Homo-oligomer: A and B are copies of this chain.
Amino acid sequence: MKTFTTGEIAKYCDVNLRTVIRWIEKGELKGFKLPGRGNNRVKEEDFINFLRRYDIPFPEELKTHASNNSILIVDDEVQVAKAIKRVLKGAGYSTLLAHDGFKAGSHLMKERPGLMTLDLSMPGLDGYDVIRFVREAPVVSQTKILVISALDKPALEKAIECGADAYLQKPFSNSELLSAVELLLDSPQQSSIAG
């Protein structure tokens, strides 16, 4: 469990240590106290939530820490999933497969991959729900989501509105897949790409 001291947070936020303590006291930043005199500690997760909530730019150190380049492939059609896996592994990515919602959710939370490819139409699973859920779950909300589906444009655009980062309409070529993935994994974790 990675934690931060008030001093570290003070540096990251370029603010006085006293102020950090006050944030914690007020509950604006979630923390806990050690025994002893009650020195404060903040869980990495809680600190990240705090930064996001107040749109504070990420310290470099946290960016790399938070980015994992493994890829979770979510598709109930085993053949499709394997085909995607083959291409991505060939390009050097480490991959995880999930053929149902349960495994998808487990792997996502356990491994916290940097990107997931998501089949919008899986039995018993609403792809849009999944996207929204991921975007609202602090620890994985930055996961890149590449929607892969044979549905029509409006359906795919809706996925973007829900929070997906990009989509690939079936059928697609290997190179289209790869360039979509590379684009997403190279792009910044946060906000503005435009310059």
Contacts and interface: CB of A to CB of B under 8 A. Distances in A.
B23 A1 contact: no
Interface size for chain A: under 10, 10 to 19, 20 to 34, or 35 or more residues? 35 or more
Interface in A173-188: none
A36 B57 contact: no
Contact of A60 (B1, B3, B101, B125): B1
B29 A54 contact: no
A161 interface: no
Task: Indicate how many identical chains form the complex.
Answer: 2
Please indicate which of the listed interface residues A26, A59, A104, A110 has the most CB atoms of chain B within 10 Å of its own CB.
A110
A28 B130 CA distance: 38
A32 B54 contact: yes
Interface string A1-43: 1110000000011110001001100101100111110000101
A34 B32 CA distance: 21
Nearest to A98: B105
Interface string A96-109: 00001111111111
Contacts of A103: 101, 105, 133
Contact of A1 (B12, B107, B108, B130): B12
Nearest to A111: B109
A77 interface: no
A165 interface: no
A66 B23 CA distance: 32
A133 B102 contact: yes
A124 B124 CA distance: 4
Given A1-B59, A102-B130, A125-B100, A36 B32 contact: no
A19 B36 CA distance: 9
A160 to B, nearest CB: 19
26 contacts: A1-B14, A13-B34, A19-B36, A23-B35, A23-B36, A28-B36, A32-B54, A32-B55, A33-B54, A35-B50, A43-B57, A76-B124, A100-B101, A101-B102, A101-B103, A102-B133, A103-B133, A105-B106, A105-B108, A105-B109, A106-B106, A106-B137, A109-B110, A110-B137, A123-B124, A124-B124
